Amino acid sequence: MIFLHLKNPISLDGTLLLNLECDRMKQPETIEEELEIIAAAIDAGIDPFPPIKESKPWGKIALGWFMIIMMLSWVSKLLNISLDF
């Protein structure tokens, strides 16, 4: 079992640091160690090289329409205030 712990979680200025370190996992030093880790991941059913996901433009489209609606509402509010009939 791998236990995670924080080393020096609070810095001198009082901010919380999120530097996670594992007790038993260390960085591989040789190619053979990296290959052993990859083989263990494949044996465990973990894909060490997942396919790259396609980017979906829905967030940008939604944000764009939201900005357009907000600008139109601000302009209409300003015109309503300045052109008070």
pLDDT at 83 over 60: yes
Q: What pLDDT score was predicted for residue 2? A: 45
Neighbours of 37 (CB within 10 A): 13
pLDDT of 1 higher than 70: no
* More confidently predicted of 65 and 7: 65
Q: Where are the domains of the chain?
A: 1-46, 57-85
Residues 6+ apart with CB under 8 A from 23: 2, 3, 4, 5
Q: What is the mean pLDDT of the chain?
A: 78
Tokens in use for 54?
Answer: 């396609």
Tell me if residue 22 falls in helix, strand or coil: strand
pTM of the model: 0.38
Measured between alpha carbons, how far is 35 from 21 in angstroms, rounded to an integer? 21
At 28-44, the pLDDT tens digits run: 889 998 999 899 989 99
Q: Are 17 and 10 in contact (CB under 8 A)?
A: yes
pLDDT at 28: 84
